[in-house]
Every structure is written in structure tokens, then in C-alpha cells.
Structure 1
Amino acid sequence: MNTEPGTISYGLGGVLHILVDAERYRIEPEDVKALLFSGRVVPITQDCSKAKREDYLICDVAIEGHAAINRSGKAVALHTRVGSYIVPVVSLQRVARGEAVSAPLFPIIPGETG
């Protein structure tokens, strides 16, 4: 499991970009709203590069994890195939509104408390 911290940042059109190690993920704007306003579990998808072929863009999308607000309502847990991370809800809200450029992600290490 990767224990390196990552970042979440604001992208064009309200997309949230997640960078952990060399992996890149994203949460779509409508999913960000569902997460923050309805508390729904939302998918985290692969942030694919767009390749131009014959005047149209091809982008394969794969769901690589999910994001959910924790029981206390004070943090968002992000679970991806490279590890699990947490970010305070307040920090995620600031990034989603464009008030902050990015926020750090903190690794969740299984079996550790405190």
C-alpha cells in the first residue's frame, strides 16, 4: 500500500483532480455536488489523457475507486486502487468552490488508530 501523501486540486469546469504518486484520478462536477450536498458515495475515475484520432477525442473511462463522507461528517475518505486517503470536508469544499488551488490528502493506514 502506498503511504505517500497526495493532493486534490480544482480543474476546468469544476472537475476535482486527484494526484497520488504517479496515479491521476478525477471526480466529475456533478459527483462533487452529490458528495457534498447529498452525502452520496461517488465514483473516482481514471484521469485519462485524451488522444486525438481522426478529428475526435478518445478517452476511455474506468472507475478506480470511490469517495464518501465519513460518519462524523468532517472528512471525506477517498479509496483508490493505490490506497485510501482522507481530506477534511472544509478543505475539499474550498477546492471545489475554487477558493483554494489544492489540498493535501492524508493516507489512511490500516490498523492504526489515533
Structure 2
Amino acid sequence: MTEPGTLSHGTSGALHISVDAEKYRIEAEDARNLLFYGRVIPICEDRSRMTPGGILASETAIEGHAAVNASGKAVMLHTRVGSYIIPLVSLQRVARGEPISAPLFPLIPGVTG
């Protein structure tokens, strides 16, 4: 079973998702597209690595997606490590920076909400 996660407000309006040791990000523009237009958006993971010259290089990879569920009352987040759900109102509040974070609830396998 997947572990619970946390959604938190980040700099420049980005949203951060933390599940175990995995760290993901939703860009501010993507969050707006989800919240205002109901679009499916990418969930990205930052990957840092050392180049042969000893320089820290960062690359971004799409590792999942987020979408408003059919009822319009929750957001489902699907990542490599599992699927989660958060009430839409909680995501909106975190996106505004009202609470610093909110819990993500694991989705039961086979239940798509």
C-alpha cells in the first residue's frame, strides 16, 4: 500500500509533493491551469547530478500527472510511487499559501474516483 504524502506551498507559487524520499513539483502555471480550467497537468521531479567536470546539473522529468476527479471536488495525483487524492478546497488553500501544507491520501488500487 502506498504511504501518505504531503502537498506544500513553495516559492513562486509552485506546489511541492513529498512522498517518502520522493520529491515532486507542480509549476505555478500548471497549478493555475488545473484550478481555473480543469486541465490535466504534469507532475515533475527534479533530478540533480554531478557532471564529469564536477558541476551540479539539474534536469526535470515528468513523473506523473494531476487531474480534477469526475465530481469536481477532489484532485487525483498519479506518480511513479503511487496515486493520491486531496480535496480540491485543500489544494486551493495550499496554492494560495493559506496553510503551509496539506496531507495527501493514498488511493486504493483500482479505485479511480
Matched residue, 2:99: 100
Matched residue, 2:43: 44
Matched residue, 1:61: 60
Matched residue, 2:71: 72
The list of structure 1 runs, each at least 4 consecutive aligned residues, that deviate by more than 6 angstroms after superposition, is none
RMSD: 2.3
Matched residue, 1:13: 12
CA contact 2:2–2:81 (8 Å) conserved in 1: no
Count matched residues: 111
Write the distance in 1 (CA, Å) between the matches of 2:3 and 2:81. Answer: 10
CA contact 2:46–2:58 (8 Å) conserved in 1: no
Is 1:83 matched with 2:66? Answer: no
Write the distance in 2 (CA, Å) between the matches of 1:95 and 1:49. Answer: 26
TM-score for the superposition, normalised by structure 2: 0.88
TM-score for the superposition, normalised by structure 1: 0.88
The percentage of counterpart residues that share the same residue type is 69
Give the unaligned 5+ runs of structure 1: none
Which one has the bigger strand percentage? 2
